[in-house]
Every structure is written in C-alpha cells, then in structure tokens.
A and B are shown apart, each in its own frame.
Chain A
Amino acid sequence: MAVTEEKTETYIGAPVARKEDAKLVTGQARWVDNLTLPGMLWASIVRSPHAHARIGSIDTGAAKAIEGVVAVLTGGELAGDWAGPLPMVWPVTEDTKNPPHWPLATDKARFAGDGVAVVVAESRAVAKDAAELVEVDYEPLPSVTDVARALDDGAPLVHEELESNHCYTWPLEGPEEGATERAFADAAVTVKERYRQQRLIPSAIEPRGVLVQPSPAEGEFTMWSSTQIPHIARVTLSGTTGIPEAKLRVIAPDVGGGFGSKLNVYAEEALCLALARRLGRPVKWIEERSENHVATTHGRDQIQEIELAATAEGKITAVRVHITTGMGAYLQIITPGTPLLGAWVYAGAYDVDAYQIEFVGAFTNTTPTDAYRGAGRPEATYAIERAVDALARKLDMDPVELRRRNFIREFPKTIASGLTVDSGDFDASLDRALELLDYEEARREQAERRERGDATQLGIGFSTYLEMCGLAPSRILGAIRYAAGGWDAATIRCLPTGTVQLLIGTSPHGQGHATTFSQIVGDRLGIPFDDIEVLHGDTAVVPLGMDTYGSRSLAVGGVAVWNAAEKVIGKARRVVAHGLEVAEEDLEYEGGRFTVRGTDRSMTVKEAALAAWTAHDLPDGMEPGLEGSYVYDPPNFSWPAGCHIAVVEVDTETGAVDLRRYVAVDDLGTVINPTIVDGQIHGGITQGVAQALFEEAVYDDAGNLVTGSMVNYLVPSAAELPAFELDRTESPSPTNPLGVKGVGETGTIAAPAAVMNAVADALSPFGITDIEMPASPERVRRAIEEAGR
C-alpha cells in the first residue's frame, strides 16, 4: 500500500497556494463548452427582438429545410413537454404575483431576448444559421422598461391578466409598530434622499452552457450546466420537466464565474432536457455574450427613498425606507426575494431605535433581475452610507465623527429590524483604515485644491458597512417564505491508504473551495493537504447540498466540514481506544494523533482508518470504515463589517473620475486562507467600483437593450483600477466553531457607497450632493454645468 507523506505544517490561517490552479493555468479545465459527446446536437434559441409583442404565426419551414437541422420547435409546440413552469421559490408574500414562466414564450414576448423557438442541429453553425431563418410574425406592443414608471397609471401591462405591473408589497417594521413615526415626529433633524440603483449585467466571463445526455432506455438524464446550484437545479427542473428527481443527475463541472447570475434555473436547461428527451440524443447549448446580456439575469434596478431621523447631536434614532424594485418580465428563481436580502440592514452599522421599510416589486419589459453579487445588501449599504453622509452635511459634521456617534458597540446585538448581529468592532476597522489612509493628510490636500480652485478636485468617501451573509438559518428562511432550507452537508471519508475524500454540498466557481476545505480537513485530521480530494458539484457523487450563493460556502459548508471531521475523530477515538486497549478518556488528541495520556503510545487517524477498513479487530457492533457526515444548519447569519475608504480625483473640466486610492479594512472573523480572502475582496471591490463608475444596463425608449455587448457595457479592465490597500481586524463569529464569516460579497457591498460618497465629496464645492451611478464623465460634467460652473 502506498504510504503518504506526513503532515508538517499548519494550514488554517496560512496563505496556501491553490490546488485548483494546475489545470486552470495549463488549459485543462472542464468547462461545459469543452465537453463533447457522440451524436451530440446543438441548440440555438430564437429570441424576440421586441420588448413586448404578441406572437403571431411562426414559420419554421426555411429553417427546417437546411441540411443538418434536426428539429425546430416553437413555444406552442413544446407546451406539452412541461410538467410545470420554470421555478420561482421565494414568494415573499402570500399574494406575490407569479405569472407562469415557460421555457419558451407562447402568447407574448415580454422582453427583448425572450425565447420564442428553438432550433436543434448537427453543428453549432448550422443551428445558428437556421435560427436566423425562423420567421416570427410579431405584433409589437407598447413597453415599459423603467421601474420608476412601471406602476404609473396607464403604463403598458407586462402581464394583462394581473391588471397591473404590481408584483408584491413587503413591509417590515421594528421594534414595534408606530416607533418609527414617533421617532420622526420627535426628531431634531431629518434627511430624505432618493437614489437609483441602476440595472447591472453580472458578466461572468464564462457564458452559460448546458449539455444533456439522455439514457432513453432507463429514462435517465445527465445534465452538465455552468451553474452555481446543481442540487437546487435538480429538484426544481424535475418539477419543470417531469423527469423524476432520482432519474436526473446534475453536474456543475468547472464553472467560470457566477456572481449570482448562475444561481438560477434557466429556460435553456429545461429546453435541453426536453429536447434530449424528445430526440434521444445529447443536446448542447452554449450562450453567446450578446445572449448573456439579455438571457441571463440582471442585478439591482431599484429606486430607493431613505429617511433618517436624528438628534441635534447626530444620534440617528430612526430609519425609514421605501424601495421600488424591478422584477423584469418574469420571476426567476428568487427574483422577488433578492432585494429583501438587504431588508434587515438598511440601518447599517448604526444603533437605531426604530426601523421601517417597504419594498414594492414591479414587472417591466426587461430581462428578469435576480441575485447579483451582494444581492440586496449593496443596495442597502449604499442607501444608508450615502444618507449618513447627507446627514453629516446637514449637521456640518465630519462623516467620520457622525459614524462614530452611531456605531453599534455591544455584541451580540439585536437590531431594530429584528436580527442579531453576532460580533464586531466597528471602531477598530475605522481606526485602522484612517491610519492606512492618513486621513488628515488627505483632508489637507483636499483643502488645498479647493483653496486654489484646482481643476482636479479630491474627494474622500467612507463606507462603514455591516453585512449579513452565510445564508442561512432554515427556520428564518421558512419564516420569510423561502421554499427550502439553508443548511449544507459534508462527508469525510478516510480511505485505507491514508488519503481522504471530502464530499461537500457547495460547489465553487472561482472561490478556491478545494483549497480552503483541504486546509480545514488537513489540520483537523492531520492529513497532508495534497492527500485530500474535494468532490463537489455532482448530484450523483454528493447527493446532499444547498449549493453556492450568499457567501455561505465557508460560513455554512465549512462548518459542516469541521463538524464532519469531529465525527471522524469521534469514531477514530473509539477505534484507537480499542486498538490500544485503553479507555477513550485516556486519549489525548492533537493534529491527527491520539496519544495515551502520560505515555508515548499513540495512533493516528490514518492508522485508525486502516484498522476500520480491515475491520479485523473493531469494538463489538462497530460498523467498519471511517467516515463522518454532518448537515449543518447555521443558528444565525454571519455578519462581516468594516471600513472602506475611496479617494477619487474628479477632473471638473472633463468630468472624468479617477479612483486614486482605495483602502479596505474588513472584519471577516477567522480567516482560513488570507490569500484567497484578499482575492475575494479585490474582486468584490472591483465589481462595486464598476457599479459606481462604469456599468449600467441601458434600455432605449423602444425597450431595446442598448448595452447589448461588452463594447458598450463597460466591464472595467486593469487599466481603470488602482491597487487596493487591504487590512483586516478579526472578531471571530461566536456562532460557529471555526469563528468564520462569509467573504464573497463584502467588497461589492461596501464599495459603491464609498466611491460615490467620494465623488459627492469632491463635488461639494459646487453644491453638488449626488450623481447617479455610474458617475460617467457625462453625468459629472452635466451636474457641474447645471450647478452653474
């Protein structure tokens, strides 16, 4: 038998280089588009060019006449293939309107990009050629794409049968009814601000893709999909297609980024399943980038109104918020619930007495919105952090001082919205960030530039954010009407040769799970990093899992891994005690080795694994084999927090905004791999900066998506960004044994507010207090002109 190396290092907390990288830097990754099966067909979707149109006749004759075309099917022709519509699993109120969402539209196209027919052919090129020959007789209808106008009288109706575009109204007030109104009545100072959260296109660099292999004789299907949620896709697509759950295997192979956009169950997955079932051959669909812009969910799209009540000394007493939030044309898997993920944190890191918020969801003739990195919490953080700056201006107080007067300082803290913040030290991260920045020097430079009327003005912006993530306690999810739980599952299996397999229910798309989880297992069981194989993303290999979103993989999945390791240790202890003929209590355990107290007699987990496998001499009644499983349901969310500071230079002549410095001090609890955590922060900040300065999905008056490609939807490149300056403070979460919090969304949550507060700060000499995102040169220059300069 092969003998493995001994473990010599401590992994938790170390910047271990990733085990995922070898295949990725050499071009050996297994993306869906790299998979080919014998007899494989290609699907191409015919999409509506109209934002809103009645679908008349569809002529598929010319398409079918092309050599190599196997089938052309319309929405109507496929109607009988569905056992149910595409899934929506979070009806946020009892009366949330959820009009049926079929994989292909039948009566009307409700957004530009809505699928109306599908072509299946022997090659990618033929499928696309034929799709262009499908003649659809559209009767264009008036459309509404602006969420601010969706609920106006006389607005075009996305779904006539609903008689309005209203989807739901969801209120929350705490700690008791009437408290907010009283606080506003008693307030010495109030501010009321209105912000627009523009629509964003998540833009994972790998477009989506699906490949389905049918096994007709057995009625079984294997689906490879570029998805964040193989387990959720399996259970919900069973409902859409009627394929029994047990006959459907979903595999997320290597997935090239997600950011929430692959946290969904899409029409193309259902279509490939249905087509493979009809045709008895493998069917593949690969999204093009221009399709991705219309057919993959968008993010944000909100109009926010936020009011703060405060004392004359700047103590915030109440927060009142009203949000109008765009659903798009249909409800995807968690479209209605996505904005609500911010509903509890619109008071940010501040200790307020009263809290009232209402969300109104509205349909528009646009691509459905859904989760995009941060999902609800970037919006919340933006509103409160910008409003705090507005209050500081009104009080003529330094924004840092105002924040300090309001921080939550005792933990655990039940906040006015009703949840409990686990731990934190908001002053510590603010202090450290100010030190890194040299705040006084930055203000001095700013004053100098103002004094001399420099064309390039300096702005300093803060975001002392508080985030809730690590989704999520199942009971809370149930109470807010989400259809599933928030647990996750891990199994650790010790193989007889000393290597270990970890089966984990969350699957990565860049986060480095295999490395991080190997660090946890390695330390706990004393197994070398390279001897741990992490398996994920295949429902046949890892049947239990709740997948990857909401910064949950470490805060939920990682804790499941830890607890599974505890179970392995527990069984190994019994095996070792029996083998060494001592009582279990006489064994000390550390780093994979059991030692009989006061002696040098010992046995390792690896040795116990072999003994449990041979099973020659186990305690009476013990099952052979050494493995442990744990399904962890978190008792609370995890609550990262910190201070981000942006320093921008605004060229007041051209309107150009240059991000000069960005300082981020985050408190993420215990850190397993600082390199991976820094990487998450870098990428998160970049997406937040992109929202503030570059990105916006724009529709024209006819409902066309103007930003239909990467040419005009401005994903930033390296040239637009500075190097970020990071540090951390550490308040371990008391709710899990690792002390960890989530990190995946932090940067995106914190950054837009920091950057836009900086832009507003730079422009304050002009009397400008707000620029809509993104702060393009045109918007900035126009604001300066309107201010009369």
Chain B
Amino acid sequence: MRQIRMTVNGARHEAEVEPRQLLVYFLREGLGLTGTTVGCDTSSCGTCTVLVDGESVKSCTVLAVQADGWDVTTIEGLAQNGVLHPVQEAFHLNHGLQCGYCTPGMVMAAVSLLAENPSPSEAEIRHALEGNLCRCTGYQNIVRAVQAAAAS
C-alpha cells in the first residue's frame, strides 16, 4: 500500500492505495465520487475523463499513485453553489445527452476544450471530442451544446 495526497473538487484527501489502483477506481470506490464512470478497459471511451489542473485526463490511464499531489476536478465539482456550469447547462438545454453514461466525461472534455479554445469551430469541437464515445446522440446535440456553451 502507498500513501497519497490529492485535492479533489477542492477538498484535500490522504489515503492508502494499492499501487496498481487506477485513479478512476480511487475516485469512485476510495472517495465515493461515482459521477465519473467506467466504460471500457482500453482508454478508448473517455467516460472517465476528469480535469487535472484544468486539463482533461482519462482517469483510467493514470494510477492513483501517479496522481499523488494532483488537483483533480470531477463532474461533482463542476457546479458551484447549486448552479450548473455553463457546459452542464448547455448539455441540458441542447439535449446533448440521452442515457447520460458518457456525459460526465463528455462534459469534462468539453470544459477542457473551451478553456483552451473559447470559440471552437464545429470541426474543432468534433476533433477535440474524438476520444469520448457516445452511443446515443450521434454527437450532433453534443456539438450544439458545446457551441452554445462557447457562446454563453
């Protein structure tokens, strides 16, 4: 077991973890933050995307011990004081989700994109979200949601 420290959604945590534990399982099972979901075992689907220092990271590609000292934001940390983040709001208003399983990862990837590029073109949005799979929406309303969030 290894000792790690991590700031998650503004709260500081210290924990003992198995060296082989993935960050996503530390978040879900260690901290009870089940908003971040697991959709594959090959880092293909992107449902587990979180922000590390504001940049999107697939939390299944990182060991919890590697994240020692990191500042992580999960979907639970996005809304502030009960007010949805503009990207969350835009997904809701533009029907950018159906079953919602990919949504936490998709929202985090979109937040990261807009931080880098505040007014992306449709092609840039589609390219930036390439690592996040959705099986329900055909992406059309996800793209629309990101455009709306960019405009807001």
Which residues in A have some Cβ–Cβ distance to B below 8 Å?
17-18, 20-29, 31, 33-34, 124-125, 203-207, 254-257, 259, 288-290, 509-512, 675-676, 678-679, 682-687, 709-711, 715, 717-719, 721, 723-724, 747
Across the interface, which residues of B come within 8 angstroms of A717, CB to CB? 126, 129-133, 139
Identify the interface centre among B37, B95, B131, B138: most chain A CB within 10 Å of its CB: B138
Identify the interface centre among A22, A33, A203, A723: most chain B CB within 10 Å of its CB: A723
Residues of B29-54 contacting chain A, CB below 8 A: 29, 33-42, 44-45, 47
| A34-B34, A289-B40 as given contacts; A26 in contact with B137, CB under 8 Å | no
Across the interface, which residues of A come within 8 angstroms of B35, CB to CB? 26-29
In the complex, A512 Cα to B92 Cα: how many Å?
Answer: 12
In the complex, A686 Cα to B129 Cα: how many Å?
Answer: 16
In the complex, A398 Cα to B63 Cα: how many Å?
Answer: 59
Are the CB atoms of B139 and A718 closer together than 8 Å? Answer: yes
In the complex, A207 Cα to B126 Cα: how many Å?
Answer: 24
Are the CB atoms of B138 and A686 closer together than 8 Å? Answer: yes
Are the CB atoms of B91 and A25 closer together than 8 Å? Answer: yes
Identify the interface centre among B47, B98, B143: most chain A CB within 10 Å of its CB: B98
Shortest distance from the beta carbon of A508 to any chain B beta carbon, whole Å: 8
Shortest distance from the beta carbon of A303 to any chain B beta carbon, whole Å: 27
Point out the residue from A17, A675, A687, A709 that lies within 8 Å of B40, measured CB to CB: A709
Shortest distance from the beta carbon of A501 to any chain B beta carbon, whole Å: 23
5 closest cross-chain pairs (CB), A and B: A27-B35, A256-B101, A24-B100, A510-B99, A682-B138
Question: Does B56 sit at the interface, judged by CB under 8 A?
Answer: no
Question: Does B78 sit at the interface, judged by CB under 8 A?
Answer: yes
Question: Does B103 sit at the interface, judged by CB under 8 A?
Answer: yes
In the complex, A288 Cα to B29 Cα: how many Å?
Answer: 16
Question: Does B125 sit at the interface, judged by CB under 8 A?
Answer: yes
Question: Does B112 sit at the interface, judged by CB under 8 A?
Answer: no
| A28-B35, A289-B40 as given contacts; A676 in contact with B126, CB under 8 Å | no
Are the CB atoms of A724 and B138 closer together than 8 Å? Answer: yes
Are the CB atoms of B44 and A718 closer together than 8 Å? Answer: no
**A–B Cβ pairs within 8 angstroms, 20 of them:** A24-B97, A27-B33, A27-B35, A27-B36, A29-B100, A31-B37, A125-B18, A204-B99, A205-B134, A256-B100, A288-B41, A682-B137, A683-B137, A710-B42, A710-B44, A715-B135, A717-B132, A719-B129, A721-B140, A724-B138
Shortest distance from the beta carbon of B28 to any chain A beta carbon, whole Å: 8
Question: Does B141 sit at the interface, judged by CB under 8 A?
Answer: yes
Question: Does B142 sit at the interface, judged by CB under 8 A?
Answer: yes
Identify the interface centre among A29, A124, A290: most chain B CB within 10 Å of its CB: A29
Are the CB atoms of B95 and A17 closer together than 8 Å? Answer: yes
Shortest distance from the beta carbon of B42 to any chain A beta carbon, whole Å: 5
In the complex, A496 Cα to B122 Cα: how many Å?
Answer: 50
Point out the residue from A289, A685, A711 that lies within 8 Å of B138, measured CB to CB: A685
| A25-B97, A289-B45, A511-B98 as given contacts; A686 in contact with B139, CB under 8 Å | yes
| A27-B104, A685-B138, A687-B135 as given contacts; A711 in contact with B42, CB under 8 Å | yes
Are the CB atoms of B101 and A31 closer together than 8 Å? Answer: yes
Are the CB atoms of A682 and B140 closer together than 8 Å? Answer: yes
Across the interface, which residues of B come within 8 angstroms of A675, CB to CB? 95
In the complex, A257 Cα to B41 Cα: how many Å?
Answer: 18
| A26-B35, A33-B38, A710-B42 as given contacts; A721 in contact with B138, CB under 8 Å | yes
Across the interface, which residues of A come within 8 angstroms of B84, CB to CB? 25-26
In the complex, A127 Cα to B35 Cα: how many Å?
Answer: 24
In the complex, A724 Cα to B141 Cα: how many Å?
Answer: 10
Secondary structure class of chain B's binding surface, majority of residues? loop
Which residues in B have some Cβ–Cβ distance to A below 8 Å?
18, 20-21, 25, 28-29, 33-42, 44-45, 47, 74-76, 78-79, 84, 88, 91-93, 95, 97-104, 107, 122, 125-127, 129-143
Across the interface, which residues of A come within 8 angstroms of B93, CB to CB? 17
Nearest-CB residue, chain A, relative to B93: A17
In the complex, A477 Cα to B93 Cα: how many Å?
Answer: 40
Secondary structure class of chain A's binding surface, majority of residues? loop
Are the CB atoms of B98 and A203 closer together than 8 Å? Answer: no
Are the CB atoms of B42 and A205 closer together than 8 Å? Answer: no
Across the interface, which residues of A come within 8 angstroms of B78, CB to CB? 26
Across the interface, which residues of B come within 8 angstroms of A510, CB to CB? 98-100, 136
Are the CB atoms of B91 and A21 closer together than 8 Å? Answer: yes
Shortest distance from the beta carbon of B64 to any chain A beta carbon, whole Å: 13
Across the interface, which residues of B come within 8 angstroms of A34, CB to CB? 28, 34
Are the CB atoms of A709 and B44 closer together than 8 Å? Answer: yes
Identify the interface centre among A24, A685, A747: most chain B CB within 10 Å of its CB: A24
Across the interface, which residues of A come within 8 angstroms of B75, CB to CB? 25-27
| A21-B100, A683-B136 as given contacts; A718 in contact with B125, CB under 8 Å | yes
In the complex, A274 Cα to B91 Cα: how many Å?
Answer: 41
In the complex, A711 Cα to B74 Cα: how many Å?
Answer: 25
Identify the interface centre among A20, A203, A685, A719: most chain B CB within 10 Å of its CB: A719
Across the interface, which residues of B come within 8 angstroms of A721, CB to CB? 126, 138-140
Are the CB atoms of A206 and B37 closer together than 8 Å? Answer: yes
In the complex, A390 Cα to B102 Cα: how many Å?
Answer: 40
In the complex, A198 Cα to B30 Cα: how many Å?
Answer: 42
In the complex, A510 Cα to B139 Cα: how many Å?
Answer: 14
Nearest-CB residue, chain A, relative to B89: A25
Across the interface, which residues of B come within 8 angstroms of A29, CB to CB? 35, 100-101
Nearest-CB residue, chain B, relative to A710: B44
Identify the interface centre among A27, A207, A683, A711: most chain B CB within 10 Å of its CB: A27
Identify the interface centre among B18, B75, B76, B92: most chain A CB within 10 Å of its CB: B92
Identify the interface centre among B78, B91, B133: most chain A CB within 10 Å of its CB: B133
Are the CB atoms of A683 and B98 closer together than 8 Å? Answer: yes
Shortest distance from the beta carbon of B3 to any chain A beta carbon, whole Å: 19
Across the interface, which residues of A come within 8 angstroms of B88, CB to CB? 25-26
Across the interface, which residues of A come within 8 angstroms of B122, CB to CB? 723
Across the interface, which residues of A come within 8 angstroms of B38, CB to CB? 33, 207
In the complex, A708 Cα to B126 Cα: how many Å?
Answer: 26
In the complex, A683 Cα to B102 Cα: how many Å?
Answer: 14
Are the CB atoms of B137 and A679 closer together than 8 Å? Answer: yes
Are the CB atoms of A27 and B45 closer together than 8 Å? Answer: no
In the complex, A686 Cα to B134 Cα: how many Å?
Answer: 10
Nearest-CB residue, chain A, relative to B36: A27
Across the interface, which residues of A come within 8 angstroms of B100, CB to CB? 20-21, 23-25, 29, 254, 256, 510
Shortest distance from the beta carbon of A534 to any chain B beta carbon, whole Å: 16
Shortest distance from the beta carbon of B99 to any chain A beta carbon, whole Å: 3
Across the interface, which residues of B come within 8 angstroms of A254, CB to CB? 99-100
Are the CB atoms of B135 and A203 closer together than 8 Å? Answer: yes
Shortest distance from the beta carbon of B140 to any chain A beta carbon, whole Å: 5
In the complex, A682 Cα to B94 Cα: how many Å?
Answer: 13
11 further contact pairs, Cβ within 8 A, besides A687-B135, A723-B122 = A29-B100, A31-B37, A33-B28, A124-B29, A205-B133, A206-B37, A510-B99, A679-B95, A683-B137, A686-B139, A718-B126
